[in-house]
Amino acid sequence: MSTNWPRHDMSFLNGHRPRRLRQAQWVRDLVAETVLTPADLIWPMFVIEGRNEKTSIATMPGVDRLSIDLAVEAAKQARDAGIPALALFPNTPGELRTSDGREAFNPDNLMCRALSAIKSAVPEIGLIADVALDEYSSDGQDGLVRDGEILNDETVDVMVKSAIVQARAGADVIAPSDMMDGRVGAIRRALDAERFEQTLIMSYSAKYASCFYGPFRDAVGSGSRLIGDKKTYQLDFANSDEALREVAADLDEGADMVMVKPGMPYLDLVQRVKAEFSVPTFAYQVSGEYAMIEFAGAAGAINRDAAVMESLLGFKRAGCDGILTYFALEAARRLGE
């Protein structure tokens, strides 16, 4: 049987063969439109009380809560891997969680002690302090609650106090993650009044009322306490124009950087924000996204290591200037090899 198949006329290509640019790794690297580096990554870290204490999180395999001394050592590893910043989240002991969230502005709280210890030991790494009340409240909400209603202005007052003690403790960036109206402007005015004009604000400007936060709430101890939901103050995931209005408002109030959260299901928002405002734009690859990759990889459904890097590059391609991800240390080390 003849193997001389007839050759079809390919003249319609006019010499254009896109596969030439894909034929080897060296040329794919040379023409890559998007590049991911360790400097694009921010490592979220959960802090607990104690010394030499590490506790695992069942819904986030591979992620641990760390006592402050271990967090300091982790910060050194991050610095050595080229990661520019950490985002800290405290797991406040239950006996300190109250309906008024007053532990949030205790200058000796877990968050402030962690900020101070890391800044003292690793001054060259940036520290991003989360500002919201779910880590301090007894009901797991990001705001103060009265008769089932989430109070806006009263919550902002507490957040302002929290931001000030965090700045004094060494936070380089204040990151309000609640979605209360007017909180960015109130925090900016308070920081400036206290001579923290250089302290940055990274606002969670487009934070959605999402189901993808479940493992995070386990990590900070708010999940089992949460009464109700957060739909009256976080964005409806059916909306994107509304998110742009929120971003515009936060920028007008003094935000230096804005964030979209969650990440992968909301990359259209990242692209819209970056195109519309041309400001430093970040996204958070949240706990549920992390868990999906880990569990799917463990089940053999996907190549876990490949999925980590592909997902992170997707954030960059969509327009992110930086990505908050629990894969940060691993990814930074792989990129540095």
* Strand (E) or helix (H) holding 128: strand 126-131
119, 207, 274, 316: the active-site residue: 207
CA distance 148 to 141: 11
Residue type at 297 in one-letter notation? G
From the number of C-beta atoms within 10 Å of its C-beta (0-12, 13-18, 19+), residue 317 rates as: middle
Q: Strand 85-90 relative to strand 41-48: parallel, antiparallel, unpaired? A: parallel
230, 261, 274, 316: the active-site residue: 261
Those residues whose C-beta lies under 8 Å from the C-beta of residue 278, and which sit 6 or more positions away, are: none
From the number of C-beta atoms within 10 Å of its C-beta (0-12, 13-18, 19+), residue 10 rates as: exposed
Q: Active-site residue 54, yes or no?
A: no
Tokens of 252: 């007008």
In eight-state DSSP terms, residue 12 is G
CA distance 78 to 84: 8
CA nearest to 188, candidates 280, 267, 253, 105: 253
In eight-state DSSP terms, residue 105 is G
Q: Active-site residue 207, yes or no?
A: yes
Tokens of 255: 């935000």
> Cis peptide leading into 262, omega within 30 of 0?
yes
Provide the annotated active-site residues: 207, 261
